[in-house]
Amino acid sequence: MTEKAHHAVAREDNALLAALPTRERNDAHRSSQLFTLGFGAKILEANTRSQHAYFPIRGAVSLIRTLSSGPTVEVGIVGNEGMVGVDIFMDARTQLNDAIVQGEGLAWRMNAEHLLLRFQRNGEVQRQLLRFTNAFITQVSQTAACNRAHSMEARLARWLLMMQDRVAAPQIRMTQQFLAHMLGARTASVNEAVQKLEAARVIGHRRQEISILDRAGLEAMACECYAIVCRVYEQAILN
């Protein structure tokens, strides 16, 4: 299935940039800096115009909405297959998500004005970015439905799979507290779900760390949303 394609592939470059024509790709690299995605870093802030766009090479970034009543909910995950900062070329007035690094890694960071210029000047750049944006819309839509319909356990399984695809490491590092913020739930609820997955022997876990022991098994316990989102991004990236 899709897991092989995502899994364990050494990523040389961000897939969006890699799909650009040589000339544009080179230009993108020249006008970007390599940026370390440090765990927990907030690379984009709600209610602020993005100063930079990030094209992850490795690592995962969560887009998170904080509700005024308190809880936080993750609405999407971006990694190698995409970028953070679509508001730059969408001519956005507003942007209500925070972007927080969930899985350490590396990204190309590009100046907002520069990105906008490239977007406007080059049709191929534009098409590639819009195609990703459309896939991203699909991811968020799926999340909206998922949040309504699927159990904690299934959503946790999906999250772990998506995260592992992007960090390309066997273990995923984070506190259950943090995970609870992503899934919009209590730490206790997450813990319960973790234990269920562990009882099913598809994951193992220690303090601050979850490792996937049986990927196929975990996929079977995840909701359909995992496979759907994978497929959508695959199709979006193929030239």
Partner DNA sequence: CTCTATTTTTACGGAACCGTAATAATCGAT
Partner DNA sequence: ATCGATTATTACGGTTCCGTAAAAATAGAG
Residues near DNA, by CB under 7 A: 151-153, 175-177, 184-189, 191-195, 205-208
Nearest to 138 by CA among 57, 229, 71: 229
Q: Residue 126 in contact with residue 119, Cβ under 8 Å?
A: yes
Please, which residue, 1 or 145, has the CB nearer to a copy of itself?
Answer: 145
Answer yes or no whether residue 236 interacts with a copy of itself by CB under 8 A: yes
Q: Which does 187 bind (CB under 5 to 8 A by kind): DNA, a copy of itself, none?
A: DNA
Give the x/- contact pattern for a copy of itself in 164-193, rule: CB under 8 A: --------------------x---------
Q: Which stretch binds a copy of itself (CB under 8 A): 99-107, 125-133, 199-207, 213-221?
A: 125-133
Q: Which does 177 bind (CB under 5 to 8 A by kind): DNA, a copy of itself, none?
A: DNA
User: Which one among 32, 62, 143, 176 touches a copy of itself, defined by CB under 8 A?
Assistant: 143
Q: Which stretch binds a copy of itself (CB under 8 A): 28-36, 37-45, 53-61, 128-136?
A: 128-136
Where do contacts with a copy of itself occur on this chain (CB under 8 A)? 63, 65, 67-69, 71, 73, 75-76, 86-87, 89-97, 120, 123, 127, 130-131, 133-138, 140-145, 147-149, 184, 224, 228, 231-232, 235-236
